[in-house]
Amino acid sequence: MTLSTPHSTEMSNEHIDLILRFSRRGLFILLLTFLWLGATVVGIAFWPNSVLAKWPAVVPWLFPVVMVLVMFALRIPLRGRWPSRSHKLKLILDDEFRRSNLARAQGAAFAVVVAAQVPLALLVLHLPARQAVIGMAGTTMSLGLVTLTALFLIFDRE
């Protein structure tokens, strides 16, 4: 086992912490995105005349523009040091704590999605078939993704 110098180890740890912070911020933005898109789908299914349902037709450029701006803002602290294939990124992705938290979040999200099916079916019962399908599918996906991301962020905190 070769040990690096204290200075290089310190630099490496700083960089890993930076990537971890970037990852958490990115996941938080992803959570907000899922909430935004989920609310839109729910709006289309349950309240087709609301602002929630109509914004994609009125300002179709809003979502991509916001996403691009957010991505640029997120990458500013990295100052171009994104380690696309570095061992640091592999270390973070293979990290045992991260993987166990992801597995716990996946299990819980699956349970929430399964448990939500009957209440959801009762909710869309009075809707026309097309809206009911959009409502069920959209709400299920949004609920699963929001639960997964939120629980992962909670479990993975220090």
Partner 1 sequence: MEERGLRNTLKVQRAIQNLTQAELAAIAGVTRKSVNAIETGRMVPSILLALKLARALRVTVDTIFNLDGGLPSTSADGTEPYAGLE
Give me the residues that bind partner 1 (CB under 8 A), please.
1, 3-4, 6, 9-10, 12-13, 16-17, 20, 91-92, 95-98, 100, 104, 156, 158
Distances (CA, A) of 144 to 68, 112, 114, 116: 24, 7, 9, 10
Residue nearer to partner 1 on the CB measure, 22 or 95:
95
Residue nearer to partner 1 on the CB measure, 37 or 91:
91
Spatial separation of the C-alpha atoms in residues 128 and 115, rounded to whole Å: 23
Dihedral angle computed from the Cα positions of residues 114, 116, 118 and 123, in that order, rounded to the nearest 10 degrees: -150
**Closest distance to partner 1 from the beta carbon of 146 (Å):** 22
Burial 55-88 (b: 16+ CB within 10 A, else e): beeeeeeeeeeeeeebeeeeeeeeeeeebeeeeb
Residue nearer to partner 1 on the CB measure, 9 or 86:
9
Residue nearer to partner 1 on the CB measure, 97 or 110:
97
**Closest distance to partner 1 from the beta carbon of 134 (Å):** 38
**Closest distance to partner 1 from the beta carbon of 69 (Å):** 29
Query: Do 81 and 15 touch, CB atoms closer than 8 A?
Result: yes
**Closest distance to partner 1 from the beta carbon of 158 (Å):** 6
